[in-house]
Structure 1
Amino acid sequence: MNLQHLRFFTALARERHFAAAAEACGVTQPTLSAGLRALEQELGKRLVERDRRFIGLTEHGQAILPWAQQVLGSLRGLTQAAGALSAPLQGEFRLAAIPAALPLIGPFGAALMAQHPGLTLAVHSATAREIARGLAASAFDAGVTYLDHEPPADVLAVPLHAERHLFVARRGGAFDRHRAATWAEVAAERLCLLHQGMQFRRILDREFAARGLAVSPAAVADSYVSLLALVRTGGFGTVIPDAYADLVAGQDWAVLLPFSAPAPDRRMGLVVVNRDPLGPLARAGLQAAQAAGAGPDSAL
């Protein structure tokens, strides 16, 4: 089986566009299409629904996709392992992080590249569920996600941070003289929050519900930058992870408050697939996370 044809197939499944997949593979679109047809002929199954454009994967295409991803991931690990003993690590370290953890990437990235100057770091923002799927499919070398709430299965983890909630309001309002905010006060505000597909929002809703409260935000978004922009323009409050505190503290427009009865801390950490043997990039990620300021955790 031609591995390049598998690369074409997984790239098309990822990009969902023939021209974009060809560009990602560094080939022309006719070359990619020919490779896909050759793969279909070899397997005796139609893998891609197409009508001058990509429509989707067939049932057979969906079935073989995780296997194709695993084959290519294993090949990448084999290549890395073969060169790891004779030369410094080279290439791209693919890291996925939930939005709540993106501020943690700085210390981790600095540690990783100090230990392995030959690596480049590619950071992707993803949901916790996307990270779990991507790790299983070898699409990512590591992820940064919650370790206690909906954790991915069968991983090795290094804690990086214990998260707390912070309330953000615009200066010039009722919270200017507050030292902390209550859950009831926050629930009564006109809020902008992450949408419910985001794990931080699901955790937040659970904390409100535990106190007999419910929130119905006036605006939702999928990034903290959008939420903070809405607060800054006035009329909104929001809740953010404390990892973003350094990015907000000192802003003349912002009031940043802890909760007077805080929820339990939630651990965030780096996770890699628990494989034996552990690949060189996964091992490098764990070592960098430990150097960034935390000790190793047991497999979840």
Structure 2
Amino acid sequence: MLFRQLEYLVALSRERHFARAAQACHVSQPALSEAVRKLEDELGVPLVQRGRRYEGLTPEGERIVVWAQRLLADRDALKSEVGALRTGLSGRLRIGSVPTASGAVAQLTAPFCLAHPLVNVEVAADLRSEDVLRQLRDFELDAGVTYLHKGLAENFRAVPLYEERYVLLTGAADAPAHRTAATWAEAARLPLCLLTGSMQGRQVLDEVFAEAGVRPSPRVETDSVAALFAHVRTGGWTSIVPHTWLHVFGVPHGMRAVPMTEPARAVPMGLVTVVREPEPVLARALREVAGRTDVAAVLDRLPGDSVPR
């Protein structure tokens, strides 16, 4: 059995198409198909349901893919560990983030890259919370920044980073100059632009609206926090955004931002990694950086006098 065969099987499971899997692995489709067939012969079980086109993995194939992902992840972790012992930490660190927290990821990547100049960092910043956890389980990510909820499985290790709070973002002409806060009931009556309902960041907002006894009816929905700012800039739209994004954009000219109250809500966010022994060296190094970085203090130092504190 070769690692290459396991890589092909994992790619086939991910891409669900022989040609795309072969392209992802930079080999020809016949070479990938033949390698998977040889793996089937060696294991003595069918791994792929074959018809005129790819029809999925067999039950045996689904189980083998889990082992293949784990073996490949352990191989990569071993390489990183040996490389760190020989020349210092190197390789590629893969971080996934929910959109509302993507502005906070830089507070970790900056000190991490300073401490480990030979490591390259790849950030996927528009993932749903469940996708962050799934990709961690499937060893497609080394770490994630997402919501820390009570149901987080025991096989995840979490480092709290900050609490996400919310502000009403409006055009300056739409917000009375004396307003220092906004209630959720008031916000529900405004022309809202919000995140899409499938995203946990939006689900958190809907829970708070329900607690306030109202239900929003946004005219525009998007999967991008930056797009929320862009819509408010055009005038005529109002949005509710995490306070952390004001650290990225400030309060843009022509807008106002005030805290959301009645009820006030703070949602814990953190760095999440998979519990593995031995712990992969890249994940451990990022966790150590997160443990000594006061992300909350940085994100609370917001620019501009009109920004809520």
- Of 29-38 and 102-111, more deviation after overlay is shown by 29-38
SS across alignment from 1:252: coil
Determine if contact 1:249/1:256 at 8 Å carries over to the other structure: no
Measured against aligned partners, the alpha-carbon deviations of 1:221-256 in whole angstroms (never above 9, x if no partner) come to 211122222222233211111110133434123221
Determine if contact 2:251/2:257 at 8 Å carries over to the other structure: no
In structure 2, the residue matched to 1:213 is 214
Measured against aligned partners, the alpha-carbon deviations of 1:126-176 in whole angstroms (never above 9, x if no partner) come to 221112122222211111111236535332222222210111122322455
2:274 is the counterpart of 1:282: no
2:56 is the counterpart of 1:68: no
Measured against aligned partners, the alpha-carbon deviations of 1:53-105 in whole angstroms (never above 9, x if no partner) come to 54543444333322221111112122222333222111100111111110111
Determine if contact 1:104/1:160 at 8 Å carries over to the other structure: no
**Whole-Å separation in 1 of the counterparts to 2:196 and 2:63:** 30
**Whole-Å separation in 2 of the counterparts to 1:26 and 1:236:** 46
Code of the residue aligned with 1:178 in structure 2: it is R
Q: How far is the alpha carbon of 1:49 from its aligned partner?
A: 4.6
* Aligned-residue CA RMSD (Å): 2.3
In structure 2, the residue matched to 1:153 is 154
Aligned identity (percent) is 39
Q: How far is the alpha carbon of 1:37 from its aligned partner?
A: 2.4
Instruction: Provide closer, same or farther for how the CA distance between residues 72 and 197 of structure 1 changes in structure 2, counting only shifts above 3 A.
Output: same
Measured against aligned partners, the alpha-carbon deviations of 1:273-300 in whole angstroms (never above 9, x if no partner) come to 22232221121111121233269xxxxx
For these two proteins, the number of residue pairs brought into alignment is 295
Instruction: Provide closer, same or farther for how the CA distance between residues 20 and 84 of structure 1 changes in structure 2, counting only shifts above 3 A.
Output: same
Measured against aligned partners, the alpha-carbon deviations of 1:109-142 in whole angstroms (never above 9, x if no partner) come to 1111111111000111322111212222221111
SS across alignment from 1:121: strand
Instruction: Provide closer, same or farther for how the CA distance between residues 60 and 223 of structure 1 changes in structure 2, counting only shifts above 3 A.
Output: farther
Instruction: Provide closer, same or farther for how the CA distance between residues 177 and 62 of structure 1 changes in structure 2, counting only shifts above 3 A.
Output: farther
- Of 117-126 and 261-270, more deviation after overlay is shown by 261-270
2:289 is the counterpart of 1:273: no
Q: Within 5 Å, give how 1:22-171 maps onto structure 2.
A: 22-49=22-49, 54-125=54-125, 126-148=127-149, 150-171=151-172
Q: How far is the alpha carbon of 1:199 from its aligned partner?
A: 1.0
In structure 1, the residue matched to 2:8 is 8
**Whole-Å separation in 2 of the counterparts to 1:180 and 1:250:** 15
Q: How far is the alpha carbon of 1:196 from its aligned partner?
A: 2.1
In structure 2, the residue matched to 1:180 is 181
Q: How far is the alpha carbon of 1:177 from its aligned partner?
A: 4.3
Instruction: Provide closer, same or farther for how the CA distance between residues 7 and 192 of structure 1 changes in structure 2, counting only shifts above 3 A.
Output: same
**Whole-Å separation in 1 of the counterparts to 2:259 and 2:151:** 24
**Whole-Å separation in 1 of the counterparts to 2:222 and 2:52:** 34
Instruction: Provide closer, same or farther for how the CA distance between residues 53 and 226 of structure 1 changes in structure 2, counting only shifts above 3 A.
Output: farther
Determine if contact 1:46/1:60 at 8 Å carries over to the other structure: yes
In structure 1, the residue matched to 2:302 is none
**Whole-Å separation in 2 of the counterparts to 1:197 and 1:35:** 38
Code of the residue aligned with 1:91 in structure 2: it is G
**Whole-Å separation in 2 of the counterparts to 1:240 and 1:56:** 40
**Whole-Å separation in 1 of the counterparts to 2:170 and 2:51:** 51
**Whole-Å separation in 2 of the counterparts to 1:247 and 1:116:** 24
**Whole-Å separation in 2 of the counterparts to 1:242 and 1:211:** 20
In structure 2, the residue matched to 1:298 is none
Instruction: Provide closer, same or farther for how the CA distance between residues 266 and 42 of structure 1 changes in structure 2, counting only shifts above 3 A.
Output: same
Q: How far is the alpha carbon of 1:38 from its aligned partner?
A: 2.1
Code of the residue aligned with 1:5 in structure 2: it is Q
Q: Within 5 Å, give how 1:239-254 maps onto structure 2.
A: 239-254=240-255
- Of 148-157 and 120-129, more deviation after overlay is shown by 148-157
Determine if contact 2:46/2:60 at 8 Å carries over to the other structure: yes
**Whole-Å separation in 2 of the counterparts to 1:148 and 1:106:** 22
**Whole-Å separation in 1 of the counterparts to 2:191 and 2:46:** 52
**What TM-score results when the alignment is normalised by the length of structure 1?**
0.88
**Whole-Å separation in 2 of the counterparts to 1:232 and 1:48:** 51
Code of the residue aligned with 1:47 in structure 2: it is L
Determine if contact 1:22/1:28 at 8 Å carries over to the other structure: yes
**What TM-score results when the alignment is normalised by the length of structure 2?**
0.86
**Whole-Å separation in 1 of the counterparts to 2:61 and 2:235:** 49
